[in-house]
Chains A and B, each alone.
Chain A
Amino acid sequence: MMTQLPALQVVIPLLASLFCAFMKRGTVAWALSLVASWAVLVVSILILQQVLESGPISYAMGGWEPPFGIEYYVDKLNAFVLLLVSGVGAIIMPFAKRSVGTEIHSTRQPYFYTMYLLCLCGLLGIAITGDAFNIFVFLEVSSLATYAMVAMGKDKRALLAAFQYLIIGTIGATFYVIGTGLLYTVTGSLNLVDIAGQLDSVNNTRALVTSLAFLTVGISLKLALFPLHVWLPNAYAYAPSFATVFLAATATKVAIYLLIRFFFSVFGAGLVFQSLPVSEILLILSVVAMFGASIVAIFQEDIKRMLAYSSVAQIGYITLGIALANSNGLSGGIVHIFNHAIMKAAFFLALGAVFYRIGSVHIDHLAGIGRRMPITMMGFVIAGMSIVGVPGTVGFISKWYLAAGAFENGQWWLVFAIMISSLLAVIYVGRVVEVAWFRDPSGATLEARDPPPAMLLPILIFCAASIYFGIDTTLTAGIASQAAELLLGGLR
């Protein structure tokens, strides 16, 4: 049984999604998704334990030995990503029942859960597989499911947002395949470990550099790196609340994992950061994202859109950590993948609860909501403090590592950039806090109260996590720095 864990990680959500498609009632599909999500979490915990105890796991899919067959390859980095994705999926499931129940038409609910589980399966698949083409397949599985989920939003503009995402996402996937194809022509292999081994002998040919360029742009489209982020604000703003929570916390994070994997494990930091100006390009784009997207976020009226822009800014912090390419910086990037997922999940869950009660997340409708839904909005405030980087929250940990990484490279101005962009977060979070707590309730807000416990509990769990992991960092930062050392160890 234990040897089959890597396959189960992907097969459980896949199987559950197929059964959901047969269901007629949303609640049955929800119960099945709940069981599947929790089972997947157990599997990922067992995998992480196994990796921490006895090193990387290799699983030959279909019994075909790597590098010829598809290999599932789990080391510390992707075990961490698997835990993150499945953890978020498991915690937010109780929230789904009522949220999806009110936002999705009852005949479509089983299909919504089908799409959610397929998306979960795709994201876990991207993280677990060690085969470049298999990554593409899972990328498409998760993306197609995402387009469908976004399109199910109540707002008519959800369709347009989904279409926009479809076009851009497909371009991203195409670029990814072109990059993989070029890599295949150079090495004759699709297995990531095998490719990395063969690249030693074929350093710096033109096809290799072109492949790197295609892969970087393709994956950057998926992870919404500035200026390739245009699909993200609309998709997040108009998708159903539950879909937004799940996507914001996991989808871009898995794409970032993929970028790290290709940069450090496949191409090697030597080629990417020393022979080519990737570091400089990434650094500039990250800083522009941190400032540009935060400033745009300040002027948003729709809070979901505001947080979507904030996501683009936060992704800037993560790519900044990658661009620094030293042990502290990379640790900061990896740990921020986890930390940002926690706080964005808390943010969007709180907004989902607000939407469940008053049917809107426009800033004008939120006046006094903090007085009517105190626990929910307290969750929002804690997540807000975390995104600003107040000491004692997870945001502080990531920024600490990033700043240490910037010092290590002697780029002290980056430390100021990190601090000043955090102040921008104070402004956009503060705007909501001001409206929610210091104004008198009116209209629909008067009747609002905190949502039922099943919806409240996930919010509280993420808030507790964003404080707990801000104080005890042995799990998050510990694994992140081990993974960073592992990745930088391959520096050629």
Chain B
Amino acid sequence: MRKDLILRIGAKLILPFILLFALYVQFHGDFGPGGGFQAGVISAAMVILYAIIFGLKSAQTVIPPRFAELMVPLGALLYTGVGIVAMFKGGNFLNYSVLEHDPVKGQHLGIILVELGVYITVAGTMLAIFYTFVGRGR
């Protein structure tokens, strides 16, 4: 019997809610405080908590270090991609209005995709930094 039973069970209970809260912050970003950056940090914090309680190895099977590193350019690529699609549709770079026929819908779609990009990059960056620091000297 491990001594840290309460921590392990407690963490297991909390983890899904942290992720849920992150997604709430992500999708609520256009109506209230929040957005991709905060949500990314919260999601990364969830993985970091998992790593602290269950060990780095099990955390790295969930999200491998290479995957975390690839998340960093992936999110930024999504962000830039939205801007470039807008250019192909005849607007200026990052002009979301041209993404859909209705400018309001276009703005909505644009900001959701861009915030998703921010989310992926921030979560990836936080994790990559965490993995690098924790992995030192191994």
Contacts and interface: CB of A to CB of B under 8 A. Distances in A.
B76 interface: yes
* 7 nearest A-B residue pairs (beta carbon): A63-B95, A7-B93, A21-B73, A62-B94, A18-B73, A18-B77, A63-B92
Interface in A119-148: none
A476 to B, nearest CB: 31
A4 B72 contact: no
B93 to A, nearest CB: 4
Interface string A49-72: 000000000011111000000000
A7 B87 CA distance: 9
Contacts of B93: 4, 7, 11, 61-62
17 contacts: A7-B83, A7-B92, A11-B80, A11-B83, A15-B80, A18-B73, A18-B76, A18-B77, A19-B77, A21-B70, A21-B72, A59-B92, A60-B92, A62-B92, A62-B93, A63-B92, A63-B98
Contacts of A7: 83, 87, 92-93
Interface in A17-59: 18-19, 21-22, 59
Task: Give the residue among A4, A11, A18, A19 with the most B Cβ atoms within 10 A.
Answer: A18
A18 B71 CA distance: 11
A14 interface: yes
Interface string B59-77: 0000000000110110011
Nearest to B69: A21
Interface of A: 4, 7, 11, 14-15, 18-19, 21-22, 59-63, 114
Contacts of B87: 4, 7
Nearest to B103: A63
B19 interface: no
Contacts of B97: 63
Contacts, number: 45
Contact of B80 (A18, A21, A62): A18
A15 B84 contact: yes
Interface residues of B, number: 18
A126 to B, nearest CB: 17
Contacts of A21: 69-70, 72-73
A14 B96 CA distance: 19
A67 to B, nearest CB: 16
Contacts of A4: 87, 92-93
A114 B73 CA distance: 10
B91 interface: yes
Given A11-B93, A21-B69, A60-B92, 17 more contacts: A4-B92, A4-B93, A7-B92, A7-B93, A11-B80, A14-B80, A15-B84, A18-B73, A19-B77, A21-B72, A22-B73, A61-B92, A61-B93, A61-B94, A62-B92, A62-B93, A114-B73
Interface in B16-41: none
